[in-house]
Amino acid sequence: MKSIITFLFLLFLASCQVNVFPPSTAESFANCRDALSQTETLNRMAGRWRLVGTGCGNCVQTGPAKPTEDVTLVFNRNQTFEIYKSGQLFHATTFILNQTSNSNYFTLSHPNKIYLGYVYGIIETCSGKLVFNEGYVDGAIYYYEAY
């Protein structure tokens, strides 16, 4: 009986790991915290970004997971952006970068005032990577790569 329980536990554990980022990908995002000016942040954000992972600071999940949906962001230097889900336009609007209270990072706000989880939180950028981090303790994190 113990061997059956052990087998089922190992099978369950293995199935949980299928949706987790490879360690090298997770590490590449870990240091994505360049403090930039507003112009530098806008310049780095401009382009097409594919959602490659999601995370949660205060969840059972121990690391970034592969996304469950196909999401693409397109940011333009004129402060407009689009969100595509499975290749279809989901939302388009203008945005403003707001400096955070510690003045090192920015958050994105938009006039529609609807919750768009994909672009909510502190913006962290580095070469070819874009992160929206809702909080270091219990917020969701959205990991994007340029393409």
31-52 average pLDDT score: 84
Higher pLDDT, 39 or 48: 48
Q: Which domains can be identified in the chain, with CATH numbers?
A: 20-146 (2.40.128)
Read off the pTM: 0.73
Judge whether residue 18 has pLDDT over 80. no
In this prediction, residue 118 carries a pLDDT of 81
Higher pLDDT, 38 or 29: 38
Q: What tens digit of pLDDT does each residue of 60-111 get?
A: 555 667 888 899 999 999 999 999 999 999 989 899 888 887 667 788 887 7
| DSSP per residue, 1-58 | -HHHHHHHHHHHHHHHHTTBPPHHHHHHHHT--B---HHHHHHHH-EEEEEEEEEETT
- Quote the mean pLDDT of the chain: 75
Which of the given ranges, 21-25, 108-112, 113-117, has the highest pLDDT on average?
108-112
